[in-house]
Amino acid sequence: MRLHTMRVLASVMVIALTPAVALAEADKAAEGSVKIGKPAGVKLAKAECEAAWKKANPSNKPTIGAGQAIPFVVDVKAANSNGDAGIDQIEFLAACDKGLMKDANAASTGGASTGAGAGTEGAGPAAPPAPAAPH
């Protein structure tokens, strides 16, 4: 009976400690890794928000698309509060005030894309075609 009781106690201890060990390992593994979920944003000063809007919208259109907002906004869907096809200046500045923006330094180097171009800038010359296989 004593041996059986010790085995049961050992099993209970292993079961009780397993979640704690798993959580400690998960926390250890999460350090320095990408977190899953909504990205954290920052709240920028009003002048930084207005400067970001001008960079995101260099053509001064009434709205910008998601592609233009992505370099500046961490959660474009949340920034587009009315859910229409674009983000206007009021929505952009409100997102900025809510802390949905990327760091000002990261945004300033991101550069807004207008969607033009084939994405080959800086690609260098094309590689020569491979020789044909013998028949």
Q: How far apart are CA 53 and CA 97, in angstroms?
A: 13
For the chain, list residues with pLDDT below 50: 14, 17-24, 26-33, 109-124
pLDDT (0 to 100) of residue 90: 96
pLDDT (0 to 100) of residue 123: 45
pLDDT (0 to 100) of residue 103: 82
Q: How many domains does the chain have?
A: 1
10-29 pLDDT tens trace: 565 546 544 444 444 544 44
Tokens read off for 66: 């998601």
128 belongs to a structural domain? no
37 belongs to a structural domain? no
Tokens read off for 110: 């991101």
pLDDT (0 to 100) of residue 24: 46
| Average pLDDT of the chain, as a whole number | 72
pLDDT (0 to 100) of residue 27: 47
91 belongs to a structural domain? yes
pLDDT (0 to 100) of residue 55: 96
135 belongs to a structural domain? no
pLDDT (0 to 100) of residue 8: 61
Residues pairing with 87 in the sheet: 64
pLDDT (0 to 100) of residue 92: 96
Which domain does 75 fall in, by range? 46-110
Tokens read off for 80: 């587009």
Q: How far apart are CA 23 and CA 55, in angstroms?
A: 43
34 belongs to a structural domain? no
102-120 pLDDT tens trace: 986 655 544 444 443 333 3
Q: Which CATH number is 78's domain given?
A: 1.10.238
Across 91-122, b (16+ Cβ under 10 Å) vs e yields bbbebbeeebbbebeebeebebeeeeeeeeee
83 belongs to a structural domain? yes
129 belongs to a structural domain? no
Report the amino acid identity of residue 78. A
